[in-house]
Amino acid sequence: MKFENFNILATAGYTPERVVPNSELTTMMTTSDEWIVQRTGIHQRHVVTAERTSDLCTRVAQQLLQRSGLQATDIDYIVVATMSPDYQTPAVSAQVQGNIGATKAVALDVNAACSGFVYGLQVVHRLLMGDSPKTALLIGGETLSRLVDWQDRSTAVLFGDGAGGVVLTSALAQDGAFIAADYRTMGEQGRYLTAGANGIDSPFASDPQPVLPFFKMNGRRVYNFAIKQVPASLRRALDQGHLAVTDVDYFILHQANQRIIERIAEDLTGSMAQFPVNIGQYGNTAAASEPLLLNQLVTSHVIKRGDVLALSGFGGGLTIGTMILRY
């Protein structure tokens, strides 16, 4: 017997207590609340003060266990999507595994920047397919405030910290199901969005280079990439699943920019009611953005069992990933 079910048992989300409204940023750089809102739709963001990415992800993992009724020892896999880990090693997923006592779980991280959570969905989907039922935690978590130059208004106004996640299982034949997916990487354009450059600093370096941790982004290039490639990816996945735009209840898109989401909805001729947004509250949280929004919609009873969801992440790499599933 082959287990190929793909069910979300529970969702969870966590953001740090510290909130930074746009008005506070005006004391740190030349900007205004009106300028930020008009260009991005962001009113505030949450930032860490002492917590690290593993702390946020551990909080989400604990919520997921509580909401699903599972024990940590029931978990077979832990996958964390992040571009802002605590260390190069150990992986954030390994830290979470140790923190919650998931002694049976195999742990790994996925770094596909803002596409990370949706890439992680595909990784978990493959891991769950097999001859015995399996259960996985998939978490997207970021502390992007550590990668931001807080004097650079072109990037500092965009990003926030947070984590969100899901419990996925192949054990139960409920409403949930994988429907279709589309993944693309465009590495030749990767230079348009970078963060966390390690530099070259050894006694043997012929051309020593400093550590340059901060975000560097060609905003126009990334914007054009998003408004062209996201609708194309969604259409490919819809075609694969033999679906129309109207067959999808909600499009859970990476919360990069309100204007981008509106352009994508317009391109697909979908209703904005199908494209929920929460970027105003949280900013761009990279790999955490889709699971944070998903959890918000599930816990507020907007999303219901049997709904068809299209999740799409896009960003650094440059990468794009789309998965359509039944919740």
> Which residues are identified as catalytic?
114, 254, 284
Q: How far apart are CA 47 and CA 175, in angstroms?
A: 36
Torsion of CA 57, 183, 269, 325, to 10 degrees: -60
Kindly list the distances between the CA atom of residue 326 and the CA atoms of 82, 170, 174, 231, 250, in Å, as whole numbers in the listed order.
25, 14, 10, 20, 11
Residue 320 CB contacts under 8 Å (≥ 6 apart), including other chains? 115, 182, 183, 184, 185, 186, 229, 230, 233, 312, 313, 314
- For the chain, the straight-line distance linking the first and the last C-alpha, in angstroms and rounded, comes to 23
Q: Backbone phi, then psi, for 79, in 5-degree steps?
A: -120, 125
DSSP E strands, 192-236: 193-194, 216-217
Q: How far apart are CA 134 and CA 106, in angstroms?
A: 12
Going by C-alpha positions, the residue among 321, 324, 322, 264 that lies closest to residue 112 is 321
Bridge-based pairing state of the strands 106-110 and 319-326: unpaired
User: CA angle at residue 129 from 132 to 236, to 5 degrees?
Assistant: 165
The two structure tokens encoding residue 265: 């909805």
3-class secondary structure per residue, 66-112 = HHHCCCHHHCCEEEEECCCCCCCCCCHHHHHHHHHCCCCCEEEEECC
